[in-house]
Amino acid sequence: MSAMVTPFDGQGRLDLDAARTVARWLVNHGNEGLVIGGTTGEATTLTDTELCDLVAAVAEAVTVPVVAGTASNDTAHSVALTRRARGLGAAGVLAVGPYYSRPPQAGIEAHFRAIADATDLPVMLYDVPGRTGRRVAHDVLLRLFREVPNVLAFKDATGDPAAAAALVAEGGGHFDLYSGDDAMTLPLLACGAVGVVGTTTHWTAPRFRRMLDAFHAGDHAAARAVHAELLPSIRFVNNDESVYSMSVKVMLRTLGLPTGPCRLPLPPAPAGKEDEARAVWRALAR
């Protein structure tokens, strides 16, 4: 599945018609679910009304599960948004660890429990310490998976396959593991991952499906070969000059999709990024 970008118009306003178009395109090109209001969706720049309108519009436009990113670094705010998710048509919620404030583990655990308690929808926990500044402890994750009935999935962007393997070994019967980093998907498959919540999946979803199918069929050489085909897209999507949202929007625009610009603090993509996108696409299409 893809953590979908959020389309804006030329004046930086939310473009719901474009969001529906992009969502349908993603589903038609192999995505089996969509995360709305994640980091790639520029969630921190969206108002609550914009996020809710976006989730509702996309959920109405597609038939695959739509997961709403309802968590922030404010637990009360996260709870309020989570309570609204079912009424918007969301099939689940994504709960990122509280960022910037870097709370101790007791605070992180209480934050996740409060979010899960606010809904009967499935909850996917999201650990991305490079953005939050604080990793979620192994024992905290295990307690949440074992004790909270609707905490059913984990988006792992820690870059630590050994820890993921230990987590699955001890608690894998209670949750599904998803890679939260396209480049780590193949290693995490070996640890028990069932899929990816990706960024390059905006245009590479069929390749990821081939890689997953080959791995689960025991053809690891084929899985590695597909992973090698994905590397130019993975390199393209994130660097110091153009981060995920920026790069994904450039790629989609080169494919004729309406995404508009990013909102500040994400600037326009650097010169030459469109040419790079076309080269990546041509190589992938061979």
pLDDT, one tens digit per residue, over 24-63 is 999 999 999 999 999 999 999 999 999 999 999 999 999 9
Question: From the CB of residue 63, how many other CB atoms can be counted at a distance below 10 Å?
Answer: 8
Domain of residue 216, CATH code: 3.20.20.70
Tokens of 67: 């997961």
User: 127 near 153, Cβ under 8 Å?
Assistant: no
Report the predicted TM-score, pTM, of the whole model to 2 decimal places. Answer: 0.96
Of these residues, 126, 244, 249, 273, which one is catalytic? 126
Whether 273 sits among the annotated catalytic residues: the reply is no
Domain count within the chain: 1
Q: Per residue of the chain (286 residues), what is the pLDDT tens digit?
A: 999 999 999 999 999 999 999 999 999 999 999 999 999 999 999 999 999 999 999 999 999 999 999 999 999 999 999 999 999 999 999 999 999 999 999 999 999 999 999 999 999 999 999 999 999 999 999 999 999 999 999 999 999 999 999 999 999 999 999 999 999 999 999 999 999 999 999 999 999 999 999 999 999 999 999 999 999 999 999 999 999 999 999 999 999 999 999 999 999 999 999 999 999 999 998 7
| C-alpha to C-alpha distance for 161 and 152, rounded to whole angstroms | 19
Of these residues, 99, 100, 155, 178, which one is catalytic? 155
Q: Which pLDDT score is estimated for 285?
A: 81
Count of residues for the chain? 286
Domain extent at residue 25: 1-285
Structure confidence by residue, pLDDT tens digits, 210-254: 999 999 999 999 999 999 999 999 999 999 999 999 999 999 999
